[in-house]
Amino acid sequence: MVTVNGEARSAAGMTVEQLLASEGYESGRIAVELNGDIVPKSRYAATELRDGDTVEVVRFVGGG
């Protein structure tokens, strides 16, 4: 199991890119934290999730 924004997901073995697609995130408007570190966008396709990982997806909305 992988914890995604506090909820358990069967995402072990998926890449970050696949997880984002399956959860419906627009990759241009987010930041992704994996086990305490931010994953660079260039690594989304190559970063594979493992059992026990914790992922936090931060969504940016407009205004500033």
Partner 1 sequence: MAVPARAEMDEALFARMGPELAGKFKNARVAVCGLGGLGSNIAFALARAGVGELVLIDFDRVDVSNLNRQQYKACQVGMDKPSALAENLLEIAPYISLETHFERVTADNAAGLLRGAGVVCEAFDVPEEKSMLADAVLSSVPEAYLVAASGMAGLGPANSIRTRRIGRRMYLCGDGVSDVSTGLGLVAPRVMLCAAHQALAVLRILAGEFDV
- Nearer to partner 1 by Cβ, of 10 and 25: the residue is 25
Q: What is the DSSP letter of 2?
A: E
CA–CA dist 34, 58 (Å, integer): 11
SS3 at position 54: strand
Q: Please, what's the largest Cα pairwise distance for the chain?
A: 37
The distance of closest approach from Cβ of residue 16 to partner 1 in the complex, given in angstroms and rounded to an integer, is 13
Which residues, numbered 1-60, are part of the site for partner 1 (CB under 8 A)?
Answer: 28-31, 33, 36-38, 40-42, 56, 58-60
Residues that bind partner 1 (CB under 8 A): 28-31, 33, 36-38, 40-42, 56, 58-64
